[in-house]
Amino acid sequence: ANCMDVDAGKKKSKKRSFSDRKRSSVEIASLPGADDIAEFTAYRLLYAAGAGSKSERSEALLRELRDVPKALKTHPFVTHALEVCEAKASSNFHRFFASYAKVARMGAYLMDIMAPSVRHDAVRAMIRAYAPTVPVDFVSRV
């Protein structure tokens, strides 16, 4: 076999793999267990956003985002997880805790892992922005 045959074989293989993934994402949305698949996809996103150092989180989150089938990106569990990831990444503690109030199923346990660092970042931001006039009792309630 010459190089041309090998390259052509690789291209066909990549094309087949792409069409298999495309078809499988459409099939996922119509499966009876689609909610379960979306639920665990959301858990993977939340875990990636909350575990490890900042660079590890970014890398893990990008990897998980790349693997989310297109058909699931609009599922409520996944969109909620994406909102949480965005709120954490942008240090928007208000949006993070507003999302915490509407988390489905076991996602709250994963958000519990992130909550202390989000609170810490929020307190630091408030102290930087409003010191020395921010009341201590206000900061203690955050």
3-state secondary structure the chain: CCHHHHHHHHHHHHHHHHHHHHHHHHHHHHCCCHHHHHHHHHHHHHHHHHCCCHHHHHHHHHHHHHHCCHHHCCCHHHHHHHHHHHHHHCCCHHHHHHHHHCCCCCHHHHHHHHHHHHHHHHHHHHHHHHCCCCCHHHHHHC
* 23 and 86 both lie in a single domain: no
Claim to verify: residue 88 and residue 126 sit in the same structural domain: yes
The count of domains in the chain is: 2
Same domain, 60 and 114: yes
Q: Are residues 39 and 72 in the same domain?
A: yes
Residue 22 lies in domain = 1-30
Residue 37 and residue 101 share a domain: yes
Q: Which pLDDT belongs to residue 14?
A: 47
Whether residues 129 and 61 fall in one domain: yes
Based on the domain organization, do 20 and 82 belong to the same domain? Answer: no
pLDDT of residue 139: 73
Are 73 and 89 members of one domain?
Answer: yes
Name the one residue in this structure whose structure tokens are 């928007």: 92
Give the contacts of 8 (CB within 8 A, at least 6 positions apart): none
Q: Are 23 and 80 in the same domain?
A: no
Structure confidence at residue 132 (pLDDT): 80
pLDDT tens for the 142 residues of the chain, in order: 555 555 555 555 544 544 454 445 455 555 666 788 899 999 999 998 888 777 788 888 888 888 888 888 899 999 999 999 999 988 899 999 999 889 888 999 999 999 998 999 888 888 888 878 878 787 777 6
Contact 78, 70 (CB under 8 A): no
Same-domain status, 132 and 113: yes
pLDDT value of position 15: 47
**Looking at the structure, do residues 63 and 37 belong to the same domain, yes or no?**
yes
